Amino acid sequence: MKSDTTQKDRRAPEEVSLKPGLYLVPTPIGNLRDLTFRALDVLAGADLVVCEDTRVTGKLLKAFGLKKSMRVYNDHATEKDRNAIVKIIEEGESVALVSDAGTPLISDPGYKLVRQIIKEGHEITALPGANALLPALQLSGLPCDAFTFVGFLPARSGPRKAILEKWAGQAGTLICYETGPRLEESLKDIRKVLGDRPMAIARELTKLYEEVRRGRVSTLLETVETDGAPKGEIVLIIGENKGEEIPNDTIEGQLKEALKTLSVRDAAEMVSVATGKPKKAIYMLALKLSGKA
Ligand code: SAM
């Protein structure tokens, strides 16, 4: 058997020789350990890291012991910025494109740059990795076989309803990115345009307070109206209206889920707040479900 010293240290970046070109590198959406080994190799090996914000990416690189040249490419980038990056590649350099979090180009900058690199025939590749939409879909309890990612819903109700109308007849599950402050109004529009569908709200994925609420639109809207909008980053997963049963849509289902990790008292408290139902009745039900009544 080989001794440990002859084995490669899989945690350290492997030295890779990168051809000149553009490398699309996903970064974690909350949990630093979601950076892949290959992403680390490419970040370590690239001549230049192009990012939305050098402070955010600088922190990530520092966490992995990397010190790199960085250049900003964000939503305000112009043709001049793209030409400058293309020129760097033409001069023989390898460029890693990252966004603040998750997969570049997915509701993040990079689309026009990628088109230009393809058009001009330079080397380009995309590394698979962290994003918010797929874990949210997987955790939603809704069908994952066919789905449509609609990106961010518009901030104002008129355009938002127009987009929802556009997707209303779409087969399969819909996925939208959303922010806490807009959630209540968005849920109202979703109910108005799409009906009281089964859905899930996935929040703070991969982070300490990761949470997925599942239910009909109106049940979830009620919890937001009672508790206020959940904090943090949010993905909405909306199912088709096929009258399917929703896992954990009932108070009993929510309590059973909560009792897996919380005490009877804390589980009852959480479900009472989430559903707006009286604490005492929920507590009695939690006692019964945990076999303590
Ligand atoms: N490029 C990213 C990706 O691959 O998912 C998305 C960037 S977009 C600017 C930011 C939005 O993604 C947030 O408003 C939220 O809807 C979603 N998001 C990002 N991180 C998330 C997380 N940890 N939990 C839930 N949603 C998240």
Atom of ligand 1 nearest to the CA of 136: 25
Task: Give the pLDDT score at 12.
Answer: 75
Over residues 209-228, mean pLDDT: 94
What is the C-alpha to C-alpha distance for residues 293 and 286, in angstroms, rounded to an integer?
A: 9
Sign of CA dihedral 67, 68, 71, 72: negative
CATH architecture of 7-126: 3-Layer(aba) Sandwich (3.40)
What is the Cα–Cα distance from 224 to 18, expressed in whole angstroms?
Answer: 48
CATH code that applies to domain 133-238 = 3.30.950.10
pLDDT digits (tens, 9 = 90+) for 69-84: 999 999 999 999 999 9
Q: Kindly state if the Cβ of 206 falls inside 6 Å of ligand 1.
A: yes
pLDDT digits (tens, 9 = 90+) for 235-255: 999 999 875 555 556 677 778
Ligand 1 atom closest to the Cα of residue 130 is 4
Q: Determine the average pLDDT of the residues in 259-266.
A: 84
Instruction: Kindly state if the Cβ of 186 falls inside 6 Å of ligand 1.
Output: no
| SS3 assignment, position 21 | strand
